[in-house]
Structure 1
């Protein structure tokens, strides 16, 4: 069975991570995603590594992470024949994704006005570093720069004096996630209006958009949140604690859980400085010391079992290999197997959504396609396009079968400027 976006055609002009992640999310939902790439090097993330895999050690695992369920074609948007091909694809698409620097599409003769002139129903997703307008709207944006500028690094790390980046490229990924849900909303609105919209987001907006209680601590409370290591900014005890053979995480989110946790560790829950969350937070250093002194009596397995029996949220700190070996991860469909044209059967991190029919509990299974080799689908997409151009409108076609192209050199490249 296909996903809820079956029949939606996405023209993905984006590179690197934020835009490709948005396109991948739409592809996971069943959309037909056509990825436009440079003919010689393709998306720059094809060259990002290590690790590289394959017989020639030239396939980037970074690229594999953001481009499943897509087709790859090579086009030069600067050349007349390339512009003509992009125009034809725009007329047959429902969504266009781009993450060029502000003004690049205009210089390529594909302004928003022209895009909607070619296809009034087109939904355009534009992802920038710091926004398309404003005093710094033209700045180039990369993940770590955005993490710092958007305040996230000031909240991350062992102390306010040691800001850390989040280990994953979270600004890029959030940009893709926000962009994809904006596209879905615009497609829903199009059902009423018959016209497409421009959906704009940025790495800056996506990080500021998840400040949550850190944001209101300042905007309402007048306090500037600071990095607090592995402990929560408002709740205590809530964080990582040392025990006999390493660390465990415990999240005590209410007073009932606190009383159970304290009794388990031999601490009087009514001790004046620990009796309420506010008091525990004010004396957090003392509390952590007392908890770790008690936790040192046993190993992680003992404490995780004991906490689980009491219903107190707790967990291990797993390495990435341990995560993907975990039965719970596999049970949730968070690994998918695809057949790569060079690597053969491989496992990829899977989509985080599952769709189920009410009553029957039957899940909508999705057949996933491996990230494409550069220009792999030139012939298939051109054949599909010729067939589509005999149809009256941009909706209602299914994705063509992937057919390796005989050459990648005929169609030159997308604009690489950010």
Structure 2
């Protein structure tokens, strides 16, 4: 059953038009997964506990309208969703969830493993109601293994997945990556896994459990660290702004700040030598190949000083004008710079979403650009429980009396 055959549920245009998603998740990894599906046309229904809603409704920054406030954080990760309330600790709430699941395609949750089972609405139970259900579970350590019941946050994943140990200045302690990469990595793998399972369910009628762990996701983003250890016994270390072995590929000072310069291939190195007026360096037998420049001693003695000299007397804007169309060179930009960059606007990566009563909220856009079925990022996040009656009527087939009984029982 899809939104196309459910009168009363809005059918969204997009690649996922007609797909019905129940999003029971909270905070970031799960909600962002649901947001991406909603951007591409899925009818995503965010399910919250009426007495314990998603905690990010209280996260800063706040958009205020009189005494009311809207979390910009919540708005960004929950745009485009219908919102309902269900208390799964009540018999009535669990029954209602089962009735919704019977006509849904996907369910997303990111509770600690075992929580949904304790509530009586785990995967096995819901799969009996709807055998084609794609049940996406995002957790810290995964649904299996000796660590599965441990509580986890983003930093748990960064620490347990090895990322902290690889980040920071060479002579300093490990440093957390400056964004919630453990959550974000899990989001992206969850979206991928959900769509793979949906494809299988559409072909065969067989749903499945999609099990995505934050720690696993971080491990999968450590580039060459795992094979460096398994092949050569080399343990990744924190190297600051340098790449472990690709050179030149790092931050350099310029006249008014810093730029990234990454002309490490033979082609880019030759172009850099020509652009900065020293073409003969491209043929210097000590540094004429990428493999030679990768040698740390050669790089520090011969290559790095040359690049520092090229860049030091020029401003970042001057260097970008001079070289960025030819070489991997860019100013190290602040978020203010990024938001105000014309290139960001050209790619629609900061969008304005109108929230009734609050006005427009600017947030990041959708990086996936589809030529035939583009994302629709203009629909706002809903108020708590705003669409409860509409969804229960359309998806579960409930009438006014049944909805009133749910309300009286405190289930919605």
Both proteins in one fold, TM over 0.5: yes
**Does 1:276 pair with 2:286?**
no
Deviations 1:115-142 (A, max 9, x none): 1111111000011101112121111110
Q: 1:217-244 CA deviation, whole Å, 9 max, x = no partner?
A: 2222321121211122221111111111
> 1:164-211: per-residue Cα shift (whole Å, max 9, x none)?
111111110111111111111111111222110111011011111122
Q: Does 1:316 align with 2:331?
A: yes
Deviation of 1:410 (Å): 6.0
C-alpha contact 1:245 1:299 (8 A) present in aligned 2: yes
Q: 1:233 aligns with which of 235, 238, 244?
A: 244
Q: Which residue of 2 aligns with 1:400?
A: none
Pick closer, same or farther for the CA change 1:129–1:84 going to 2, 3 Å: same
* C-alpha distance after superposition, 1:305-345 (max 9, x if no partner): 22135x11111111112212222222222233322123122
Corresponding position of 1:401: none
Moved more, 131-140 or 155-164: 155-164
Give SS of 2:360's match: strand
TM-score by length of structure 2 reads 0.88
Contact in 2 for aligned 1:125/1:183 (Cα 8 Å): yes
Counterpart of 2:323 (choices 299, 307, 314) is: 307
Counterpart of 2:324 in 1: which secondary structure? helix
| Aligned residue number for residue 23 of structure 1 | 34
Q: Distance in 2 between matches of 1:124 and 1:323?
A: 36
Query: What corresponds to 1:33 in structure 2?
Result: 44
In structure 1, the partner of 2:62 is 52
| Deviation digits for residues 381-411 of structure 1 (CA, Å, limit 9, x no counterpart) | 1232255x79xxxxxxxxxxxxxx99x9767
1:155 and 2:166 are equivalent in the alignment: yes
Q: 1:83-162 counterparts in 2 under 5 A?
A: 83-159=94-170, 161-162=172-173
**Displacement, 1:65?**
2.3
What is the Cα deviation at residue 32 of structure 1? 0.5
Q: Which residue of 1 aligns with 2:211?
A: 200
Of 189-198 and 335-344, deviating more is 335-344
SS of 1:125 mapped into structure 2:
strand
Q: 1:140 to 1:365 in 2, by over 3 A?
A: closer
- In the alignment, what sits opposite 1:374? 384
Mean Cα deviation higher: 110-119 or 341-350: 341-350
Q: Structure 1, residues 128-160: CA drift from partner, whole Å, max 9, x if none?
A: 101112121111110012101101111212226
What's the counterpart of residue 394 of structure 2?
A: 384
2-structure distance, mates of 1:66, 1:367: 11
Report the CA distance between 1:90 and its aligned residue.
Answer: 0.8
Cα gap change, 1:81/1:157 in structure 2, threshold over 3 Å: closer, same or farther? Answer: same
Question: Does structure 1 conserve the Cα–Cα contact (< 8 Å) formed by 2:183 and 2:214?
Answer: yes
| Greater percentage in helix | 2
User: For this pair of structures, how many residues does the alignment match?
Assistant: 391
Q: Cα offset for 1:30? A: 0.8
Q: Which residue of 2 aligns with 1:394?
A: none
CA 364–304 in structure 1, closer or farther in 2 if over 3 Å, else same: closer
Separation in 1 of the partners of 2:38 and 2:409?
24
Q: Which has the higher contact order (CA 8 A, sep 6+)?
A: 1
1:39–1:409 contact (8 Å) kept in structure 2: no
**Stretches of structure 1 lacking an aligned partner (at least 5 in a row):** 358-362, 391-404
- 1:219 match: 230
Alpha carbons of structure 1 residues 232 and 329: separation in structure 2 relative to 1, 3 Å: same
* SS of alignment partner, residue 201 of structure 1: strand
Q: Distance in 2 between matches of 1:246 and 1:237?
A: 18
Q: Distance in 1 between matches of 2:154 and 2:352?
A: 28
Q: Deviations over 1:234-257 (max 9, x none)?
A: 211111111111111111131121
